[in-house]
Structure 1
Amino acid sequence: MEQEDIYGRISEMARSAHGTVARGTSSSEQVLEEVTSAAVKHLEAVDHAGITLVRRTSSSRRPEFLESTASTGDAPHLFDSLQHEFGEGPCFEAIWTHQTVRIDDATAEDRWPRLMDAVLSRTPIRSTLSIQLYTDGQELGALNLHSEKINGFDVDTEDTAVNLATHAAIALSSARRGEQFRSALASRDRIGQAKGIIMERFDVDAIRAFDMLGALSQELNVPVSRLAAQLIDREHPDPTAPGK
């Protein structure tokens, strides 16, 4: 692959990864789907792509929950399911210990023999790149690129994929910040509506209404935003909600 072609593909994939955020359709799921689609579209060696998310609820290195998302087909999801079944594999290694783990030949790979036997018998995958995408507290993620050919990934492809993963991590971080911001705005709006209901119902001012919400929140050990949502639903129930 020519050097100019490599950088051209990186630029195009970066635009794809960041484009979802720029267009305002910036959910985390959409960003991840853009990334895996871009990998299959722009990297000739990649036949399948997906994201593995691993969560843990303790300080143990052992993952307690594995989720496969943004898969471009059945193969990445099945590959993750097999990793979860056997509790080992390149995605775990990429997430916990390395930035990138490569399987050149699944028929000769000896690091995870049980997993490889299952992969060979149940999937078309013959070589894999697993690239650490991000680490965020108790959640970690890897971008997984699969080829149906033995020795499907050369050094240039791996370099390009690592660059894509870097752009993906930046885009994903931006998307998550946007989600948090929109969530905060929605929470503020709900609290404002709940204050208005209390002010009208009990003839109190805004400060007193908020104090009442805060006191009830502490008494019931329920977040103010959730309490506000319950109050709004009680006063203005959604006619389309189940049971309404």
Structure 2
Amino acid sequence: MLRDVSVEQRAYIDAWLQDLVLESDDVGQFLTELATFTIESFSPSGSTVHCGVTLLRGRKATTAASSDAKALAVDEAQNSFGEGPCLAAMEVLRPVLVRDTATEQRWPRYMRAVRREGIGAILAVPLMVDGDTRAALNLYTEAADGFSSQDVERAEMFAAHSAKALRLALKIAGLTEARNDLVAAMRSRTVIDIAIGVIMAQNRCSQESAHSILIAASNNRNVKMRDLAATVVDSVAPETEVVTHFQE
């Protein structure tokens, strides 16, 4: 069902995925575009293909993206049952194929659910992600025996390319989160330092004593130090925006 993938097409896929990482606002957008691109990489062959992307963190599996409502429904059904080809693929780290949902003996509750959605065959391919996070591409089609052994091999290739891009997207998201945390910490530090200066002036005390006064007040009032510091600053300079000089 997948179109034959030449060296040129592989290079195109890699370039497209790299551009997608750079252009996506977040990991969710990246995965949604990936799901759409996945089904576009399949030839129709008289049957529609649906795609979902599942993320597993700890013991909780969630549908991170889907190409359409049907893919979302069958993905969510699998997560609610806690069993199925996608979860199995992430556990064994190799593709899991359901040739015909009408004759598949594994995961009987889930098979009944997908048959009600008109799904005839399923192919789940793991995405190799770093750390405790696991992911999988889930491909669904209405046709029984809709995925050949060649399709499995080609889907593995596509998943390998996609996994590299996903790892990059996750690392960029992690760096962005770390940067935001750093900026927030520096802003908190600025507010606290200004508040300590105010307390020093009001109490004619040392910086260490002013710091101790602020800590004690924070503990006694059960208020975060940053919030209490902001109150102190506002008491002497109402509605003044505290600016942190942060050079990137």
TM-score (norm 1): 0.73
> In the alignment, does 2:114 pair up with 1:119?
yes
Contact 1:133–1:142 (CA under 8 A) maintained in structure 2:
yes
Partners of 2:13 and 2:228 in 1: CA distance: 43
Q: Which residue identity lines up with residue 143 of structure 2 in the other structure? A: K
Q: Which residue identity lines up with residue 17 of structure 1 in the other structure? A: L
**What are the Cα deviations for residues 119-161 of structure 1, in whole angstroms up to 9, with x where unaligned?**
112x122111101113444432111011121222223332222
Hey, what does 2:180 align to over in structure 1?
Answer: 186
Q: Structure 1 residues 153, 186: CA separation in 2 closer, same or farther (over 3 Å shift)?
A: same
**What are the Cα deviations for residues 83-135 of structure 1, in whole angstroms up to 9, with x where unaligned?**
233332101110111411011111121222222122112x1221111011134
Instruction: Give 1:4 deviation, angstroms.
Output: 6.4
Hey, what does 1:16 align to over in structure 2?
Answer: 16
Instruction: Give 1:229 deviation, angstroms.
Output: 8.2
1:1-244 mapped onto 2 (5 Å cutoff): 5-23=5-23, 25=24, 27-44=26-43, 47-56=49-58, 63=59, 65-121=60-116, 123-203=117-197
Q: Structure 1 residues 192, 71: CA separation in 2 closer, same or farther (over 3 Å shift)?
A: same
Contact 1:32–1:51 (CA under 8 A) maintained in structure 2:
yes
Percentage identity across paired residues of the two chains: 25
Contact 2:125–2:136 (CA under 8 A) maintained in structure 1:
yes
Q: Which residue identity lines up with residue 44 of structure 1 in the other structure? A: S
Partners of 2:94 and 2:240 in 1: CA distance: 49
Partners of 1:4 and 1:126 in 2: CA distance: 23
Q: Which residue identity lines up with residue 29 of structure 1 in the other structure? A: G
Q: Secondary structure at the match of 2:74?
A: helix
Contact 1:6–1:160 (CA under 8 A) maintained in structure 2:
no
Q: Which has the higher contact order (CA 8 A, sep 6+)?
A: 1
Unpaired segments ≥5 residues, structure 1: 57-62, 221-225, 239-244
Q: Structure 1 residues 181, 7: CA separation in 2 closer, same or farther (over 3 Å shift)?
A: same
Partners of 2:27 and 2:228 in 1: CA distance: 27
Partners of 1:162 and 1:69 in 2: CA distance: 20
Hey, what does 2:245 align to over in structure 1?
Answer: none
Between stretches 186-195 and 125-134, larger displacement belongs to 186-195
Hey, what does 1:223 align to over in structure 2?
Answer: none
Contact 1:75–1:124 (CA under 8 A) maintained in structure 2:
no
Report the structure number with the largest CA radius of gyration: 2
Q: Secondary structure at the match of 1:70?
A: strand
Aligned residue pairs total: 218
Contact 1:68–1:77 (CA under 8 A) maintained in structure 2:
yes
Q: Which residue identity lines up with residue 97 of structure 1 in the other structure? A: V
Cα RMSD for the two superposed structures: 3.6
Q: Secondary structure at the match of 2:66?
A: coil
Instruction: Give 1:227 deviation, angstroms.
Output: 6.4
Contact 1:127–1:146 (CA under 8 A) maintained in structure 2:
yes
TM-score (norm 2): 0.72
Contact 1:94–1:142 (CA under 8 A) maintained in structure 2:
yes
